[in-house]
Chains A and B, each alone.
Chain A
């Protein structure tokens, strides 16, 4: 059974992948990971051994991100060429598609993007996502649904049409 310290270290690459996808720019993403890791160390005693450390760390990161958003009055996401991601090797056309993907991802509201990324990259169960983000499972599903449909619309070059809200 690996000790909690090793478990925490082992989570860092995944935290980095998620933060990079969430934020886009490398330095900003690593800053977020570093804050998460530091807070994780500080609270390691409050982590319940045997529970999922990954989910616990993602919760910490989510809370930090909320704190950041509260502090910052300026938009936190700058879109420019410098912040483009490392592209997976492949044909030039696949590179273009992936870049499109990135732009499309960036266009999602963060509350939808984080759910899509936890599901697609972390392959978390919907229940775990709900617990990690402290939101009801119904909210997870509706945001996931909206995120995917918006992405699909953008990738196909058409406008996303929001489903009508049911007014009670």
Chain B
């Protein structure tokens, strides 16, 4: 029988199942005469199998949102430009507002400039901070949150501890918004929490929760617009909530109502 000599490359192709059937038979015959070589190839075959056993489970893991939501550069760019523009608008708006507030404060509160005396300023502060936190973090592809929804228990325990009160992200799945995760942020008086959600199209919304609103009176739903970001906010006891997103007012109101309902019923 006239066959080409068996090469090392043939032996690897044999292990990897890349040989045509005829050549495979030739290698079989070759190995039958060489038990040591057969043993070596068995070890290589076992390596393949073990590597697959070790790493194939990764295929079944849920793909982290930051990978599947990575967008073409061009889209990101547009987002970044939008955010940059908004940040400037917010900054000038806030500066103007604060200057205005300061003057008003000098005039009206010259005798005792305290937070309690100027609730409107702090409610407005809550809205501004929530909107800024929304535009800063929601376009972030790589690290939108500090702790992801896959570790929700940890997220809840951590934020509750840092805010000094039990706090739990509302479930908005019925409205089409899934929790991405949350982060801790500095507020006017201390720690505040931000939870982030997204819908199937990647539209993100954030819920900003402050626990230092005791000086403010309770409010009903209020609506504010900060550039392209719409914000619904309300004060409830020491809690201040602000729900921000680039979605229309009616849709945001629907979500805000669901959030409010869930927070009313302690879990």
Contact = CB atoms under 8 A, between A and B. Distances in A.
A161 interface: no
Given A145-B12, A151-B47, A121 B18 contact: no
A85 B55 CA distance: 8
Q: Which bracket fits the contact residues of B?
A: 35 or more
Contacts of B53: 88, 90, 94, 98
Q: Which bracket fits the contact residues of A?
A: 35 or more
Interface in A21-68: 21, 30-31, 33-34, 37-38, 41-42, 44
Nearest to A104: B47
Given A13-B58, A141-B8, A120 B64 contact: no
A135 interface: no
Contacts of A12: 63, 67-68
Contact of A152 (B44, B56, B142): B44
Contacts, number: 111
Nearest to B62: A13
Interface in B49-87: 50-59, 61, 63-64, 66-68, 70-74
B29 interface: no
B70 A41 contact: yes
Given A41-B71, A44-B72, A126-B18, A121 B50 contact: no
B92 interface: no
Main SS at interface, chain B:
helix
A34 B54 contact: no
Interface string B1-36: 000000011001101101000000000000000000
Given A12-B67, A13-B63, A41-B72, A121 B9 contact: no
Contacts of A17: 55-56, 58-59
Contacts of B40: 149, 152
30 contacts: A12-B68, A13-B58, A16-B58, A16-B59, A16-B63, A16-B67, A17-B58, A21-B58, A30-B66, A30-B67, A31-B142, A34-B67, A34-B70, A41-B70, A42-B72, A42-B74, A44-B72, A85-B55, A88-B54, A97-B50, A98-B54, A102-B54, A105-B51, A119-B48, A148-B12, A148-B15, A148-B43, A152-B40, A152-B47, A156-B43
Given A20-B55, A98-B54, 12 more contacts: A13-B58, A20-B58, A21-B54, A30-B64, A34-B66, A38-B73, A88-B56, A90-B53, A126-B9, A126-B13, A148-B47, A152-B40
